[in-house]
A and B are shown apart, each in its own frame.
Chain A
Amino acid sequence: MSKIHVTTSVNGDPTEFLCDADETLLDALRDRLGMTGSKEGCGTGDCGACSVTVDGRLVCSCLMLGAEAEGREIGTIEGMAKGDQLHPLQRKFIEHAALQCGICTPGLLVAAKSLLENNPDPTEEETRYWLAGNLCRCTGYDKIIRAVLDAAQEMREAS
């Protein structure tokens, strides 16, 4: 079976890959591009560990074909830190110990970044609803929510 040639942008970098027609964007990112920050938890859109943005919109990369990425702008966890400088959300996740095993963390960070771009001053309730599609089986969520709200406050004060 001949592969599909996809030209796209990942974290601002022009990117090309070859993928099978039935291959998900998550598999293309991980297996074709070696970008293994996006995780596969469930593979069925329930857990959010594979969260990326497509043209700025938060999606599960397991619920999208690699071929659908043609011409789109993809944002992944690999684009979050700037060199050695962590994004405020990443720093606050560490400060608040908002992770244990870490599998959900990339997806939660990408989803939380998307939240704060849409709503720089979310309530706790808004934060919990926005992140309802990101499952964490370790932390019990409280530390995650506190880290996101703390990062939001810091980012507001810095802007």
Chain B
Amino acid sequence: MQYLAPTTVDEAVSLLAGASGDCRILAGGTDLLVRMRSDMADPDTVVDLKRIDALKQITPEDGGWRVGAAVSGAEMGEHEGLVADWPGVVEATNLIGSTQVQGRCTMAGNLCNASPAADSVPAMVAAGAVARVVGPNGTRVVPVEEIPTAPGRTSLEKGELIDAIILPERGVRSSDAYLRFIPRTEMDIAVVGCAVSLSLDEDGTCTAARVSLGAVAPTVLLVPAAAEALIGTKMNDAALDALAAACSAAAKPIDDKRGTVDFRVHVAGVLAKRAAVIARKRAGGAA
């Protein structure tokens, strides 16, 4: 295996495009090294992104935030501006693994690992985040929900990498939240995950919302019907029940050792209600 540590994005792209054999991108490495260890990956080349300064930065951009692909979960949790604007995205990312894993793991890596149960991905989808994809043919901006195409698979082409996740401007009276169900309190993989991002008007009516579910389908789901259940309402019990029903209807999970279909379908709705109430409170609405 060859280990390469470029110092610019252009250099990384040309290394990726020119590499023969199995070439993998190393961001935090908390998935890649586990795969290598378990013989699920045997790369010929590894391209480490952590020597590219720009990819280690959290930068204000167009009123929102550009989070470089090599920024760790711990660094996100220590960034006051990012936490203030997108507490749900940060809390979701901070649920990945242990303190040790937080020192390395990245949102971009969590996205490209393409697990249906990835914690940060529903939060990014609800936030309306986009991935900035750079490759031999230039740069394109892709909604986060269009990156994973199946478990372990992404829509990235050969030679492409995500150099940043871009979170949009967070308007007034707006916030987000992420909840997952696990059978313990820490260090586990989501049985169901749900993120809600919403905006309120001065009267507390929901004016915009995005709702996303994890671990209930081959890829993380954006659920427009769930958002519609909230928009235009004061998020009373009827609206929250409609939100839950829309999420349960959208969930298409499998039975596995972590949970059954029936359980996941039900919990998708329960978590959506709870996450919506937390996001409303954070946005300055009713507690």
Interface residues of A (CB under 8 A from B): 4, 20-22, 24, 43-46, 48, 51, 54, 57-60, 62-65, 67-68, 70, 111, 114-115, 129-134
Instruction: Answer whether residue B239 sits at the interface, using C-beta atoms and an 8 A cutoff.
Output: no
* Residues in A whose Cβ lies below 8 Å from that of B97: 45, 133
**Which B residue sits closest to A107, measured CB to CB?**
B100
A101 to chain B, nearest CB (A): 20
Instruction: Tell me whether B33 and A62 are in contact (CB under 8 A).
Output: yes
**0/1 per residue, B184-216, Cβ < 8 Å to A?**
001100000000000000000000000000000
CB closest residue in chain B, given A22 = B1
Q: Are A65's CB and B3's CB within 8 A? A: yes
Q: Give every chain B residue within 8 A of A62 (Cβ-Cβ).
A: 33, 37
Binding site for A on B (CB under 8 A): 1-3, 5, 26, 28-30, 33-34, 36-38, 46, 48, 50, 72, 74, 97-101, 103-104, 186-187
Is B100 in contact with A60, judged by CB distance below 8 angstroms?
yes
Contact of A63 among B2, B34, B48, B50 (CB under 8 A): B34
Contact A132 B99 (CB under 8 A): yes
Closest 4 CB pairs of A and B: A133-B98, A21-B3, A132-B186, A57-B103
Q: Complex Cα distance A32/B103, Å?
A: 24
Residue numbers in A under 8 Å from B37 (CB-CB) = 43-44, 62
Most chain B Cβ neighbours within 10 Å, of A20, A60, A62, A130:
A60
A57 and B74 CA atoms in complex are apart in Å by 9
A-chain residues with CB within 8 Å of residue B34 when the two chains form the complex: 44-45, 63
Contact A4 B100 (CB under 8 A): no
Nearest-CB residue, chain A, relative to B98: A133
The distance in angstroms between the C-alpha atoms of A111 and B74, with both chains bound, is 14
Nearest CB on A from B5, distance (A): 7
Residues of A within 8 A of B72 (CB): 57
- Using Cβ atoms and an 8 Å threshold, which residues of chain A touch B5? 67-68, 70
